[in-house]
Structure 1
Amino acid sequence: MARDVSDTTPIGARSELVEWIASGEKPRETWRLGTEHEKVPFYKADSTPVPYEGGRGIRALLEGMQERTGWAPIIEDDHPIGLADEEGGGAISLEPGGQFELSGAPLATLHDTARETAQHLADAKAVGDRLGIAFLTLGMSPLWTRGETPVMPKARYGIMTNYMPKVGTLGLDMMYRTSTVQVNMDYASEADMVKKLRVSLALQPIATAIFANSPFTDGKPNGYLSMRSNIWLDTDRDRTGMMAFAFEDGFGYERYVDWALDVPMYFVKRDSTYHDVAGASFHDLFAGKLAQLPGERATRSDWANHVSTLFPEVRLKRYLEMRGADVGNLEHIVALSAFWTGILYDEAALDGAWELVKNWSAEEREQLRADVPTLALKATIAGRTVQDIARDALALSRAGLARRACLDEAGRDETRHLAYAEEIVDSGRTAAERLLERYHGAWGGSVLPAFKEYVF
């Protein structure tokens, strides 16, 4: 979840909301990528969840990470709820069920991303080892029930927890039991944003398939290869999905703003207080007519925080956020960033990707999105398998990364970071399918071995 911001500048007109998004435009030479990943912590001794409080809890983990990294604590109601690298731009935050998230700094190359992620994982392991804590490399908590899952002390999560059952049946599972990896990408102009958004929306189910890694719930197979992706289908239809309107003529910043304005709010933050306005209209706050806060008018903070509570498959803020993939191991995390960087940051690859998806109808895209959580690489669209399309998309990405020609200290370009995804697509076997093979074979019908074998 995004870190809430503070900017009390009043919003006077709808055009300012459009300008806020447009202010994210950056020239190509300053484009960066920011990789985020979540991971479920557990006690190594007995594979049980880690509560917030206690000498070996999440709070102690955060305090240990603060001591090790020197990052500044983020405090809410006297509780440390995250850390901020005020020089580099990265942050550590807590998801509702204790999932430990790194929001990576904006970095120039995938080599930088790999180093950053590896360093974070080494730090988390060193601190976790002292506390008897380790972290799963799965896209969903495989064993504990929702009731057994701890709750983090963040006010916005309390508001969301109350609201989620009103708008879907699986929102609480999304909040408390799933883990994702995402990459944030820049755009140069409105036209560049539109092209990238359309390509990445259409290809998001392809990424979901390649990186499917959440086949277990409550200690047994759940019938999906990406249960995390399936959960999003019944979380909150007002703020999720494939955004068919993004493919309509005339789409741009204004159309996205209009959609965002129509999505019900969760909260309004004033000073350190979160006011529960779940279900209320941002239009009313904009006009100073919000029943729960009479006379209050929208600020830039309110807009930034509201946009951070929208969860489409690709989210537009002042950058584009790819939201389709389950988390996995280090190579999995960096491969997701590599996949999108090669496609979106090379003009020829972006053009090639558009050729791949431009004739798909809205209905076909929606059907693919619905099929992929179960079928992954075996799903089809427009007469082709996802495996075939993924192979084409990876080839475009590889060519794009090769043209970027960003070399590491050993003289290797960024294409090496695609190897993990390429092996999955070439074999036709996702990480989830390999997990299920282990479950039905060597693990003897138990998920407990995952707590030893699928750990960062």
Structure 2
Amino acid sequence: MARDSSDPTPIESRHELVEFIARGCRPADEWRLGTEHEKIPFYRNGHGPVPYAGDNGIRALLDGLARRTGWEPITEGDMPIGLFDPVGGGAISLEPGGQFELSGAPLRTVHETRAELESHLADVKAVAEPLGIAFLTLGMSPLWTRGETPVMPKGRYRIMSAYMPKVGQLGLDMMFRTATVQVNLDFGSEADMVRKLRVSLALQPLATALFANSPFTEGRPNGFLSARSNIWRDTDADRTGMLAFAFEDGMGFERYVDWMLDVPTYFVKRGDTYHDVAGRSFRDLLEGRMPGLEGERATLSDWANHLSTVFPEVRLKQFLEMRGSDAGPVPMLLAEPALWAGLLYDRNALDAAWDIVRGWSAEERQALRDAAPVQGLAATIRGRSLRDIGREVMALARAGLKARAFRDDAGEDETRYLDPLDAILARGLTQAEDLLVLWEGQWGRSVEPAFGKCVF
């Protein structure tokens, strides 16, 4: 999650909420990719989780990275909880269980994303190795219980931790034990946003299958290829899911705002204080009748923060955020932006992808989303497997990237970053299935070897 917004501009009407999102419209030559990934830290000696405090803790890691990179600390009280690059615009933030997140800068090409990622990992390794810290390339913590997982000192997380058990069984697992890779993409107009949102929502189960990489929990197989994705199915129905309304007539910025207005709010931040208003509608704040904050009116900060606390499979802010994929090794972190840039940033690819999914019903899309974490590429819709659909989609993504024609210094275009996904489709086996084979055989039914193999 990115750092909280701090714009105190007051909001007077629903129209201003709509305009805030609509300001994301950009001409195609300004479209960018913002790639985010989370990684789970652990101590190489003993494979234990890394707490915030201590000479070899998360705070020491942040302090060391600040000295090495020159990035500015993001603090809460007197505690650093992240870093911000004042030049490039990227940031490092902490997820609730200490997952270390790079929120990449908005970049033009996947080649630039690769350079950003390589630089970040070099910095992190240089600081982490003397501290005895390494990072997993898995989509979920494979060994520790929830109680063994550390808690980061962020006010919003305390409020969310108290609220989650009231609305779902697995929300705390989502917060403390999962890791994802996401990419943010731009849109040119309201109609362009709607087309991209619909295509990416319908195909998010394909991404879940292709990137499935979280088959272990507390030392054993958990029954899923992407347990991380399954966790979202029982986290909070008010703020998650496939957004069936996005496919209805009349979908646009206003329809999304109306949904957001009724999603329960977690908190209202004033200064450094997080006021717990969990369960109350944002409409209450907009109308100045939030219990405990009567008379306090909504600001642009409140709206931006609220937009960041819903978790559908694709999230709309002033850009679209793809949310269906497990974290993975470096080639998979680069495959994520390549896949979606190829599909969504080329008009021919986008239109052809829409032709694939446009006939699917809300019930069929939901059934596919429910099946993908369990069955992976074997999940089906209308008699077609995700593996079969994936081959067709990958051809479109490759064509889209070829049309973009962005080449690196070696003269290669962005299609190279799709190679890991093509390899998965060719074999019909996900990363998670390969790991399960290792667990059953070479690893002797132990996840301990993952702390040697599944590491950045």
Shorter-normalised TM-score: what interval? over 0.9
Runs of 4+ in 1 over 3 A off after TM superposition: none
- The one-character-per-residue Cα deviations of 1:294-350 (angstroms, maximum 9, x if unpaired) are 110111110000010010000000000000000000000000110000000000000
- The one-character-per-residue Cα deviations of 1:163-210 (angstroms, maximum 9, x if unpaired) are 000000000000000000000000000000000000000000000000
- Residue 289 of structure 1 aligns to a residue whose secondary structure is coil
Q: Measure, in 1, the Cα distance between the counterparts of 2:444 and 2:453.
A: 14
Contact 2:111 2:414 survives alignment (8 Å): yes
**Equivalent in the alignment of 1:309:** 309
**Equivalent in the alignment of 1:366:** 366
**Equivalent in the alignment of 1:279:** 279
1:231 Cα offset (Å):
0.1
Return the letter of the residue paired with 2:399.
A
User: Does residue 84 of the first structure (1) align with residue 98 of the second (2)?
Assistant: no
- The one-character-per-residue Cα deviations of 1:135-182 (angstroms, maximum 9, x if unpaired) are 000000000000000000000000000000000000000000000000
Q: Measure, in 2, the Cα distance between the counterparts of 1:259 and 1:149.
A: 33
Higher mean alpha-carbon deviation, 441-450 vs 291-300, is at 291-300
**Equivalent in the alignment of 1:146:** 146
**Equivalent in the alignment of 2:404:** 404
- The one-character-per-residue Cα deviations of 1:71-98 (angstroms, maximum 9, x if unpaired) are 0000101110000001101000000000
1:121 Cα offset (Å):
1.0
Q: Measure, in 1, the Cα distance between the counterparts of 2:227 and 2:379.
A: 15
**Equivalent in the alignment of 1:65:** 65
User: Does residue 336 of the first structure (1) align with residue 336 of the second (2)?
Assistant: yes
Listed as ranges, the gaps of 5+ residues in structure 1 are none
- The one-character-per-residue Cα deviations of 1:222-265 (angstroms, maximum 9, x if unpaired) are 00000000000000000000000000001000000000000000
What are the residue-to-residue correspondences of 1:53-452 with 2, within 5 Å?
A: 53-452=53-452
Return the letter of the residue paired with 1:232.
W
1:2 Cα offset (Å):
2.4
Q: Measure, in 2, the Cα distance between the counterparts of 1:376 and 1:92.
A: 31
Return the letter of the residue paired with 1:392.
E
- The one-character-per-residue Cα deviations of 1:366-422 (angstroms, maximum 9, x if unpaired) are 000100000010000011000001111111000000010000000000000100111
- Residue 280 of structure 1 aligns to a residue whose secondary structure is strand
Q: Measure, in 2, the Cα distance between the counterparts of 1:41 and 1:194.
A: 37
Q: Normalized against structure 1, the TM-score is what?
A: 1.00
- Residue 93 of structure 1 aligns to a residue whose secondary structure is strand
Higher mean alpha-carbon deviation, 303-312 vs 117-126, is at 117-126
1:118 Cα offset (Å):
1.3
Return the letter of the residue paired with 1:253.
F
Q: Measure, in 1, the Cα distance between the counterparts of 2:295 and 2:13.
A: 17
Listed as ranges, the gaps of 5+ residues in structure 2 are none
- The one-character-per-residue Cα deviations of 1:28-63 (angstroms, maximum 9, x if unpaired) are 001000000000000001100000000000000011
Contact 2:2 2:91 survives alignment (8 Å): no
- Residue 278 of structure 2 aligns to a residue whose secondary structure is coil
1:125 Cα offset (Å):
1.1
Q: Measure, in 2, the Cα distance between the counterparts of 1:80 and 1:58.
A: 10
Return the letter of the residue paired with 2:59.
R
Q: Measure, in 2, the Cα distance between the counterparts of 1:287 and 1:276.
A: 18
Q: Measure, in 1, the Cα distance between the counterparts of 2:329 and 2:23.
A: 34
**Equivalent in the alignment of 1:30:** 30
Between the aligned residues of both structures, percent identity stands at 67
Q: Normalized against structure 2, the TM-score is what?
A: 1.00
User: Does residue 45 of the first structure (1) align with residue 45 of the second (2)?
Assistant: yes
| Number of residue pairs matched by the alignment | 456
Q: Measure, in 1, the Cα distance between the counterparts of 2:374 and 2:445.
A: 20
Q: Measure, in 1, the Cα distance between the counterparts of 2:292 and 2:312.
A: 27
Q: Measure, in 2, the Cα distance between the counterparts of 1:124 and 1:382.
A: 45
